[in-house]
Amino acid sequence: MNLEDIIQQTKTYYCLECGKCTSVCPVAKYDPAFSPRMMIESALLGFENDLVFNRELFSCLTCYTCQQRCPCDVDFPVFIRKARAIAQDNRQHGICAHSGQLQSLARLMTSLDIKQKRLEWLSDKFRISDDSDVLFWVGCAPYFEPIFEDIEFSALDITMASLKTLNLLGIKPKLLPDEKCCGHDALWTGDIETFKKLAEHNANQIIEAGVKKIIFSCPEGYRTFKLDYPSHGFDVGCELQHISEFLAERIENDELKFNEVKKKVTYQDPCRLGRHLGVYDAPRKVLESIPGIELVEMKHSGWESICCGTSAWTNCDSYSNMLRTDRLSEATATGAETLITCCPKCQTHFRCAMTDKGEEKRSMPSIEVMDLANLVANAIKERATVSK
Amino acid sequence: MAEFEPKIVAFACNWCTYAAADLAGTARVQYPPNVYIVRMMCSGMINPDYVLRAFEEGADGVIVSGCHYTDCHYIDGPVKCDAMFVKVSKLMHILGLEDERLRREMISTSEGTVFARVVKEFVDQLKKLGPSPFLSLRKEKVSV
């Protein structure tokens, strides 16, 4: 693929140079060197090297804020994704956060000879069944566990809460012992080769498992399965649902009852779930159906929501931290005591910003961050649902 | 068929283990030539990705080695290294790699013989385990 192909595929030539993308871009607000408009322009003028060897290429959050405002519907995130693939060919991979271990893990997982021990956390508490029609996608959660120990974030808590909720609803999901990274981060950093290997493996595993429905607790995995697998020729051929959509459906059918939880909460829309897939209402519906929960919206919410500051583990810098701090300030300004999100990555980034303050002398907003699945698992009325 | 010869990557701190390896050499202590030593300024600067990368590039085993707790040139390098090692061991465990393929050692400057012994032991251990499950990644790269 070369630059001309990318311009053709993403219809970049329609760009009016109006600059709306740059003016709404959450990164450009803090990082003066980052400008989506300028990136598009250098591509259109044919300055491939200016684009590919630009450090800022990997700063884009691919959060889709710009694309929503674009009068010409230029698909900037996909443009960035494909430009990154050219950059990877030129051995450019941005500044990898967490010393690049997450990228390495994805590449290591492409080996066909490994036998992962990814379900060791599973205890008798959870009921799973190999004959089930429903698959629960665990994703990277077991790997996140040791990596994010120091910011006291446990991704498996979200997985366990989701499993508990599913069990209480009478569903014994199937878990795949040999699922691999969905390839989301590999794809968005331009490592198409790794993505394809992972996608092929996962798609085969799922087809072999013969399930009818997959439930995700991670919006990134959900997006990748829903949009990117089919577009790269890997169709898993079953229904896909995010846990919030699943719960909203159950609430609508009156199958789910909650105990009262007195809490004022606000909700962070993960960009993958919100702008990428248009799921804004389901999580809010779940929150509103828990008695005692008061949902207050932040200044920017729904489709205007602001990203948590880094995607695909690259270029996590002081600008990302500023973005996060401001987002957390928005959350605390609502007077809410808890920030609810649906994405493990949002939680990692917010928790990291609050833990890793460095030597800076500015005040850092502090708020409890929690996944929707955890809130639901704590609030769910056990007896009422089991008897159903 | 020739006997399997494991490849070992050893991350060695400049002040202790690297000097120990040097000492083993000047003192003519015999040890297998399977080890590739990467000199680090401190064992505390080794991060999990170095270890993961070593496996990705075809190592069958990795030794992470530096000063003893009280010898560190930079005060608390070994403590940081320990924390990193715990983290990477957990990751490699989930990935399905045998725990015996990773080794944490503390070898000081004067312990040339210890270095030789560690390498010898490790080579024997790895010969029993066989090639790393990530070797196929390396082969693909080479064939391209």
Residue-by-residue DSSP string for A139-204: TTHHHHHHHTGGGT--HHHHHHHHHHHHHHTT---B--TT----SHHHHHTT-HHHHHHHHHHHHH
pLDDT band at A317 (very low <50, low <70, confident <90, very high): confident
Q: How far apart are CA A26 and CA A319, in angstroms?
A: 10
Q: Are A305 and A271 in contact (CB under 8 A)?
A: yes
Interface of B with A (CB under 8 A): 47-49, 52-53, 55-56, 86-87, 90-91, 93-97, 133-137
- Over range B2-16, report the average pLDDT: 93
What residues of chain B lie within 8 A of the CB of A115, using their CB?
96, 133
3-state DSSP helix/strand/coil % of chain B, to nearest 5: 50, 15, 35
Query: Residue A387's pLDDT is what?
Result: 44
Token duo for residue A314: 């690259």
What confidence tier does A148 reach under pLDDT thresholds 50, 70, 90? very high
Domain residue limits, chain A: 3-89, 97-250, 255-379
Is A131 an interface residue toward B (CB < 8 Å)? Answer: no
Residue of B nearest to A100 (CA): B49
In a domain, B79, yes or no: yes
pLDDT of residue A63: 92
How many percent of chain A have pLDDT more than 70? 97
Of the CA atoms within 13 Å of residue A213, those in its CB half-sphere come to 12
What is the average per-residue pLDDT within A313-331? 90
Contacts of A149 in chain B (CB under 8 A): 87
Reported as half-sphere exposure (CB side, CA atoms, 13 A), residue B107 has a value of 28
Chain B residues within 8 A of A101 when measuring between CB atoms: 47-49, 52, 91
Chain B residues lying within 8 Å of A116, measured CB to CB: 94-96
Nearest by CB to B52, from A108, A115, A149: name it: A108
- Euclidean distance between CA atoms B53 and B135, whole angstroms: 12
Range A48-55 average pLDDT: 90
Which pLDDT belongs to residue A360? 66
Per-residue pLDDT band at A1 (split at 50, 70, 90): confident
Chain B residues within 8 A of A99 when measuring between CB atoms: 47-49
Query: Distance between CA A307 and CA A133 in Å, rounded?
Result: 34
- Section B34-47 average pLDDT: 95
Q: Give yes or no for A105 touching B (CB within 8 A).
A: yes
Q: Are A289 and A258 in contact (CB under 8 A)?
A: yes
- Residue A388, pLDDT above cutoff 50: no
- Distance from the B114 Cα atom to the nearest Cα atom in chain A, whole angstroms: 31
Q: Is the pLDDT of residue A291 over 70?
A: yes
The pLDDT value recorded for residue A357 is 65
Task: Judge: B87–A147 Cβ closer than 8 Å, yes or no.
Answer: yes
Establish whether this prediction's ipTM goes over 0.85: yes
Q: Is the pLDDT of residue A281 over 80?
A: yes
| Rounded alpha-carbon distances, angstroms, from residue B12 to A138, A353, B43, B70, B102 | 37, 33, 7, 17, 14
SS3 label, residue A127: coil
Structural domain total, chain B: 1
Q: What's the pTM?
A: 0.92
Cα A177 to Cα A171: distance, rounded to the nearest angstrom: 18
Number of CB pairs, chain A paired with chain B, less than 8 A apart: 66
Which residue of A104, A114, A146 is in closest CB contact with B87? Answer: A146
Question: Which one-letter DSSP state was computed for residue A34?
Answer: -
In this prediction, residue A383 carries a pLDDT of 60
**Cβ-proximal residues to A372 (8 Å cutoff; 6+ apart), any chain:** A243, A244, A283, A286, A287, A340, A341, A342
Find where tokens 């990751």 sit: B91
Arithmetic mean of pLDDT, A183-204: 94
pLDDT at A356 over 80: no
Which tokens go with A94? 């941005």
CB contact under 8 A, A146 and B90: yes
**Residue range A137-163: mean pLDDT, rounded:** 93
Statement: residue A299 has pLDDT above 70: yes
- Asked if residue A255 has pLDDT above 90, the reply is no
The reply to whether residue B135 touches residue A113, judged by beta carbons under 8 angstroms, is: yes
pLDDT digits (tens, 9 = 90+) for B79-132: 999 999 999 999 999 999 999 999 999 999 999 999 999 999 999 999 999 999
- A248, A282 contact by CB (below 8 A): yes
Q: What is the mean pLDDT of residues A138-160?
A: 93
**Distance between CA atoms of A155 and A369, rounded to whole angstroms?**
12
Mutant choice from A95, A99, A140 vs B, greatest count of B C-beta within 10 A: A99
The residue-averaged pLDDT of A171-183 equals 93
Looking at residue A382, its pLDDT comes to 76
Quote the CA–CA distance of A90 and A7 in Å, as a whole number: 19
Q: Is the pLDDT of residue B143 over 80?
A: no
In chain A, the residue whose alpha carbon lies closest to the alpha carbon of B136 is A111
Taking residues A156-178, report their average pLDDT: 94
Helices (DSSP H) in A228-370: which residue ranges?
229-231, 243-252, 281-289, 318-333, 344-355
Element (H, E) at A52: helix A48-52
What amino acid is encoded at A63 in this protein?
C
Task: Give yes or no for A302 touching B (CB within 8 A).
Answer: no
How do strand A368-371 and strand A338-341 relate by DSSP bridges? parallel
Give the pLDDT mean for A149-162.
Answer: 92
Q: What is the CATH number of the domain that holds B15?
A: 3.40.50
For residue range A3-50, list pLDDT tens digits in order. Answer: 899 999 888 999 999 999 999 999 999 999 999 999 999 999 999 999
pLDDT tops 80 at residue B74: yes
Residues of B in contact with A98 (CB under 8 A): 49
CA distance readout (Å), A75 to A63, A83, A184, A278, A324: 11, 12, 18, 16, 25
Asked: is A97-250 a CATH 1.20.1050 domain? The reply is: yes
Instruction: Note the pLDDT of residue B144.
Output: 43
Note whether A172 and A133 are within 8 A (CB): no
8 A C-beta contact, residue A189 and residue A82: no
Q: Could you list the residue range(s) of the whole structural domain that residue B58 is in? A: 8-139
pLDDT value for A359: 66
Which three-class secondary structure state does DSSP give residue A229?
helix
- Length of chain B, please? 144
Partners of residue B55 in chain A, C-beta under 8 Å? 108
- CATH code of the domain occupying A255-379: 3.40.50
Q: Per-residue DSSP letters for A307-331? A: --S-STTB---HHHHHHHHHHHHHH
List the single residue in A with minimal CA-CA distance to B86.
A146
3-state helix, strand, coil in chain A (%, to 5): 50, 10, 40
